[in-house]
Amino acid sequence: MKKTKYIYTNADNLKCGEMICQKCNQKITSGEYRYKEMNHKFDFVGYVSHEHKFCSESGDTGWAIREMELAQRLNQMKEKLVAFESFANQWNTDALDEEIEYMKGILQ
């Protein structure tokens, strides 16, 4: 079997494949999960392996890294929002309005 990296995501944003957790056999309907593509050596048909976050958290540092990255992205967005709002006010432009609304929606 080819070893591939896990992809960490959220079922509320992205669903792929059968969405059945390999650890608890339950369907993944919402919340965070990880998945990876699996390929058998002599089989060209790959499949996707899924696991709930709470079923795969222990022993996987990928989750901590994901949380750190998400936090970093939110902090960057906060800084950008301040800068965008300041720019929009100073230059009396609505060119950034859509972006500002988008960021406010995420950060609230």
Residues at the contact surface with Zn ion, assessed by CB under 5 A? 21, 23-24, 52, 55
| Nearest-approach distance from CB 25 to Zn ion, in angstroms | 7
Q: Which is nearer to Zn ion, 23 or 104 (CB)?
A: 23
Minimal CB distance residue for Zn ion: 21
Output the six-digit token pair for 90.
Answer: 């100073």
Q: Which is nearer to Zn ion, 24 or 74 (CB)?
A: 24
| Nearest-approach distance from CB 21 to Zn ion, in angstroms | 3
Q: Report the interhelical angle of 62-90 vs 97-107 (nearest 10°).
A: 140
| Nearest-approach distance from CB 26 to Zn ion, in angstroms | 5
Q: Which is nearer to Zn ion, 24 or 68 (CB)?
A: 24
What is each CA distance from 18 to 5, 8, 35, 48, in whole angstroms? 19, 16, 11, 8
What does DSSP say about strands 47-52 and 7-10: parallel, antiparallel, or unpaired? unpaired
Cβ proximity of 69 and 77 under 8 Å: no
| Nearest-approach distance from CB 51 to Zn ion, in angstroms | 6
